[in-house]
A and B are shown apart, each in its own frame.
Chain A
Amino acid sequence: MLSFIAQRLVKAVIILLAITVMNFLLIHSAPGDPALVMAGEAGEADPTFIADLRERFGLDQPLYVQLWRYVSNVAQLNLGYSYRQEEPVLTLIAERLPATLILSLSAFVISLGLGVLAGVVAAARQGRWSDSLISAVALLFYATPLFWLALMAVLLFSVKLGWLPAFGYLTVGSDLTGLARAFDIFKHLILPATTLGLFVMAVYVRMTRASMLEVSRLDFVKTARAKGLRPGLILRRHVLRNALLPVVTLAGLQAGQLVGGAVLIETVFAWPGIGRLMFEALQARDYNLLLGVFVMSAAMVLLFNLITDLLYRVVDPRIRLTS
């Protein structure tokens, strides 16, 4: 188990390094002076900043020296400086990371929980109206632009009904502490997390349903029926557990979608996470910050992947016992 985790961590580090190299190449293949690209629109005005950049990245040096400097900087967690926000990129990200983690983890739980539940119900009632309804709703969410869904949720639940706060992480100007503060955050979290969760959920519904139907035709299910087991028990113990394996794999693959979705959701709901930070970086043409956020979101995807891989090993004895 430990060696498995170690192996995965080594792989994750390699991937992050590769992404860093790719970022470097992107900056250099972008139209224009790399220093200007990195500084962004705001920095262009300030010659000392540009000079500082040239100096730090050795932009007059050969490319491989520059690459080495860039990568070794990132390896030391030095993601550069955001001129616009006048803070190191890492500091900015660290400030925003908790909000994003809360959001994406809640959305992950909501999507997986609801998705599997709905998929199981649909499969168990295959061909009946509840199956059709669930499948139709899943298809609809699957086709909805996430940011639009979020806007419509704001329109309905905040503007029209006034049930939930529409923007931010905490009520502005409030000075809450302890439980009251947690509850305030929770109230702000409901809309963004649910919207993101529902959007990602659609995939799990479809996968769970298909996988349940696939498994229920396998021989061992017939064995279970021949033993005199009741349908409910067969469904839970035999079909569901086996059907969940591909769903867990999918959850790993979907992590990227979750993180990407978080960017859009945070933008709409002004949720102060790294997604919102990305949007701010875009608007300010602050590429250094943009790339920093990008590397960090890739790291988050790798983390989700690791979690699902571990989950898979827990569920499937064949993987656990043979490696």
Chain B
Amino acid sequence: MKDFAKSFARNRGAVLGIVILVLVLGLTLAAPLLFPRSPWSIVQRPFLPPLSVPGFPLGTDTLGRDLASGLAHGAYVSLMVGLISTVVSLAIGVPLGAAAGYFGGWVDDGLMRITEFFQVIPAFAFAVVLVAIFQPSITSIVIAIALVSWPPVARLLRGEVMSLRTREFIEAAELSGQSGLTIIWRQILPNTLSPVIVLASMMVATAILTESALSFMGLGDPNVMSWGYMIGAGRTVIRQAWWISFFPGLAILLTVLAFNLIGEGLNDVLNPRLSKRRS
């Protein structure tokens, strides 16, 4: 564990990722204190450029809402949707992939057909349809993102389990009388942990992007402020007021970058073969 922390800390990108993530988390937690008023409330005249009026460092939007407040409150949605939808897609993908890889045969065939099916459906278009039909809300967004992002998890798990399955230590475990479930749980899954962790951190990043794109298309939860919504609201006035779209986009970029950097860092540390190649 100490080695892990040490080599992770040596990866500059990963440390940068952690720093950004801590800042974003801090912003989320501090939002109610820093901006006690609802981010939807109109507080100044509209189209206020950044730094022009004290107290409104990022200016106001088309209706006169405080952009800084929106940015702080919007962080919550991005992080929460990103994390929860990833957890949900792991919950779908890990068991399916593990079962397909371990049992093989018709179980594998069947499960992989389903996975393939979900993989050829254009993910974003599918998410749009799902959210539109079930009405935009945090729940429908999370479910939609989870439904479109589990196939890579299942494929990864299946591949890993299949290669582990033929490893001799699994056969040894089988011979020593351990049951199928024990073998999956004790011998196989712990060995798939590192690639899953790496994939998960990348998935959080993708989920945040998808959530923002949905909100941008007008499919965000109407009750909560989100970065994607803010960009969408500024889209038509980009010629007059660039800042309305610019800052939320930057926030998304940084947050997503943070998760990608952490994912890469984890990958380097957890898959030593790859990291050796880099140095």
Q: Would A and B touch once assembled, by the CB under 8 A criterion?
A: yes
Residues of A within 8 A of B124 (CB): 256-257, 259-261, 263-264
Residues of A within 8 A of B134 (CB): 30-31
Report if B252 contacts A (CB, 8 A).
yes
- Contact yes or no, A15 B257, CB < 8 A: no
Residues of B within 8 A of A302 (CB): 120
Residues of A within 8 A of B123 (CB): 256-257, 260
Known A148-B245, A152-B246, A253-B119; contact A143-B132, beta-carbon cutoff 8 A: no
Known A26-B130, A30-B134; contact A143-B125, beta-carbon cutoff 8 A: no
Residues of A within 8 A of B257 (CB): 139-140, 143
Interface readout for A27-45 with B: 1 if CB under 8 Å, 0 if not?
1001100000100000000
Residue in B126, B248, B261 with the greatest tally of chain A CB atoms within 10 Å = B126
Which candidate, B30-38, B80-88, B162-170, B231-239, is the interface stretch facing chain A? B231-239
The chain B residue with its CB closest to the CB of A27 is: B133
- Contact yes or no, A297 B125, CB < 8 A: yes
The number of chain A residues with a CB under 8 A from chain B is 53
Within 8 A of B (CB), among A171-207: none
Report if A155 contacts B (CB, 8 A).
yes
- Contact yes or no, B120 A256, CB < 8 A: yes
11 A-B pairs, CB-CB below 8 angstroms?
A15-B120, A30-B134, A143-B205, A145-B228, A147-B213, A152-B249, A255-B122, A256-B124, A263-B124, A264-B124, A287-B132
The binding surface of chain A is classed by DSSP as: helix
Report if B225 contacts A (CB, 8 A).
no
Known A260-B122, A264-B216; contact A30-B246, beta-carbon cutoff 8 A: no
Report which of B125, B132, B209, B260 forms a contact with A263, defined as CB distance below 8 A. Answer: B125
The number of chain B residues with a CB under 8 A from chain A is 43
What CA separation (Å) do A147 and B228 show in the bound complex?
9
Report which of B125, B129, B213 forms a contact with A146, defined as CB distance below 8 A. Answer: B213
Report if A73 contacts B (CB, 8 A).
no
Report if B197 contacts A (CB, 8 A).
no
Report if A282 contacts B (CB, 8 A).
yes
Residues of A within 8 A of B253 (CB): 140, 143-145, 148
Residues of A within 8 A of B128 (CB): 263, 278, 282, 290, 294
Residues of A within 8 A of B157 (CB): none
Residues of A within 8 A of B213 (CB): 145-147, 264
Report if B28 contacts A (CB, 8 A).
no
Report if B178 contacts A (CB, 8 A).
no
Report which of B117, B119, B228, B242 forms a contact with A155, defined as CB distance below 8 A. Answer: B242
Report which of B119, B217, B231, B256 forms a contact with A151, defined as CB distance below 8 A. Answer: B231
- Contact yes or no, A282 B238, CB < 8 A: no
Known A145-B213, A302-B120; contact A139-B260, beta-carbon cutoff 8 A: yes
What CA separation (Å) do A140 and B132 show in the bound complex?
30
- Contact yes or no, B125 A151, CB < 8 A: no
Report if A57 contacts B (CB, 8 A).
no
Within 8 A of A (CB), among B221-279: 228, 231, 235, 238-239, 242, 245-246, 248-249, 252-253, 256-257, 260-261, 264, 277-278
Q: 5 closest pairs, A vs B, by CB? A: A260-B124, A148-B249, A143-B257, A143-B256, A256-B122
Report if B219 contacts A (CB, 8 A).
yes
Nearest CB of chain A from residue B264's CB, rounded to whole Å: 8
Other contacts beyond A23-B129, A151-B245, A279-B217: 19, CB < 8 A: A30-B133, A139-B257, A139-B260, A139-B264, A143-B205, A145-B252, A151-B249, A152-B246, A155-B238, A255-B122, A257-B122, A264-B213, A282-B219, A287-B133, A291-B129, A298-B121, A298-B125, A301-B121, A301-B122
Report if A89 contacts B (CB, 8 A).
no
Interface readout for B203-223 with A: 1 if CB under 8 Å, 0 if not?
001000100110011110000
Report if A268 contacts B (CB, 8 A).
yes
Within 8 A of B (CB), among A287-312: 287, 290-291, 293-294, 297-298, 300-302, 305
Residue in A23, A155, A260, A268 with the greatest tally of chain B CB atoms within 10 Å = A260
What CA separation (Å) do A283 and B136 show in the bound complex?
13
The chain A residue with its CB closest to the CB of B210 is: A260
